[in-house]
Structures are given as C-alpha cells and as structure tokens.
Structure 1
Amino acid sequence: MYRCVLPLMLAVSSLPAQAQQHRFFPAHALRGELVITQFPDAKLNGKPARLAPGSRIKGDTNLWIPPAGLTGQKLTVHYTVESSGLIMDVWVLNPVELANKPWPTTPAESARWQFNPGNQTWIKQ
C-alpha cells in the first residue's frame, strides 16, 4: 500500500526545477492580470470576467490548481478565451515566462504581431 508514496515524493521534489522552464503556449494566448473574486467570477485586467465551465488553471509548475484556492490573489497569467467570451485556459506564469516580453495583451496586438511558436516569442510589427 505504501509502495506508491516514494515515487510520488520523488516526482514532487523535482517540481521546482521544472517551474523555471518555459512552457509552450498557443498563439492565441494573451497575457493579463487575473483575480478570481468568487468562482466562477473573476476580474481580468481590472474588468469583470467569468471562467468557462471546464476551464483549467495551471500553476507555475504546470500542475492544475483549483480556482477556489486562488481567490483574491493577483496573478500574471497567459489565458485563452472561448467563442462565448468566457476564460477557458489559464497558465500562472513563472519567472522565466514573465521575462519573455513582449507578449500581446489584446486580440488586436496578437493580430498585428508575428508569433514564433518554436521559441515562444512575439515580434511587434
């Protein structure tokens, strides 16, 4: 019964090293500031927003985080929005990802700039 605990502990102990790696984000992911007020309600860039049913929030170590555990925290994130305007995917950024600038904050910027998916960088045009 306790045989599974040691491999799990070893996997968890390696997480801080993974937190410093840059993850791959879709080209339509935008950068913003998210505050979950009372799930599923939130503020995105200071404006009222709502998390979609089935939305996923991944922390800076790329592990899923329950939204209620983030209530009231101001987080810099990358996020995607579904066709109805609800927030679908959220990634809390780690220091390496935060340093990757520029990153579009609006769909208009995303449409004007050029994205290189291989090295996850944007070029303003």
Structure 2
Amino acid sequence: MNRCAAVVAALCVAALACPSQAQAQSPRKFTAQTLRGELIVTNPPEVLLNRQPARLAPGARIRGADNLLVLSGALVGRSAVVHYTFDTQGNLLDIWVLNAAERSNHPWPVTLQQAAGWAFNPDTQTWSRP
C-alpha cells in the first residue's frame, strides 16, 4: 500500500513540475481567410464587429489571448482586438482575442477585399500589400 502511495505522490509531483500546454504556448497560426477587427459582445449571440452589428454562429469558438476557450458572456461590454473568420452564412465562427505580439503584427487585412488584394505568407504569418 505504501508503494502505491509513493508512486501516486511521485506522479503528482511530476505533473506539477511539467509545464502545461497553456504555459508552453507556441505562436498561433492563422489562415489567409482570417481578418482583424474590434469585437464588442453586446447581447450574445449579438456583437459589434468594427462598430457594425454582427452575429456569432451557432458553435462559434472564442479563444482568449492565452488560446483557451472563452464564453461570449465573459466578454460582454468589453472591447477586444481580434482575428476572426466567417461561416458560410456570414456569421462569426472562429474568434481569437489577440495577445500583444499578435496585435503588433502589421499590416493585417480588416476586410475581405483587402485580403483578396494582399499576399499572405503562412510560414511567417505576415501580409504584404501590392
């Protein structure tokens, strides 16, 4: 019995000593369909995106600056700089609240028209204007 307790204790200590996935975060990868904007959650699923009314898609995923999932209710009334994608109905599907390093990555398109006219390098996560 003491042997089992010692093994369990050793495993607990090892688990605490290892960095979790949230702590050892790698840079997030975005696609060429990802746009940047300002999001204010008003009354979920209703939001303001770049000061225009928009709607969260059913099953929309919001990831915080630490890449953990965030409920839309936790963001009510707060303004956040985000990257986002749309579903086929034009609703917001994937939303990432940007951390300081991601916010400093300029330029980043804010409209579909800009994204269509700019070149995206997925390896460096940068956009270049023509």
What TM-score, normalized to structure 1? 0.87
Larger Rg: 2
Of 5-14 and 88-97, deviating more is 5-14
Contact 1:38 1:71 in 2 (8 A): yes
**CA offsets per residue over residues 55-102 of structure 1, 9 Å max, x none?**
000001111111111111100000001111100000000011011000
Corresponding position: 1:111 with 2:94: no
User: 1:38: Cα distance to partner?
Assistant: 0.9
Structure 1 counterpart of 2:49, from 44, 49, 55: 44
Counterpart pick for 1:98 among 96, 103, 111: 103
CA distance in 1, matches of 2:94, 2:65: 13
Gaps of 5+ in 2: 1-7
**Count of matched residue positions in the alignment of Structure 1 and Structure 2:** 121
TM-score by length of 2: 0.83
Calculate the aligned-residue CA RMSD, in Å. 2.3
Larger RCO (alpha carbons 8 Å, 6+ apart)? 1
Q: Which runs of 4+ in 1 moved over 3 A?
A: 2-14
| Distance in structure 2 (CA, Å) of the matches to 1:121 and 1:31 | 13
Alignment of 1:32 with 2:21, yes or no, is: no
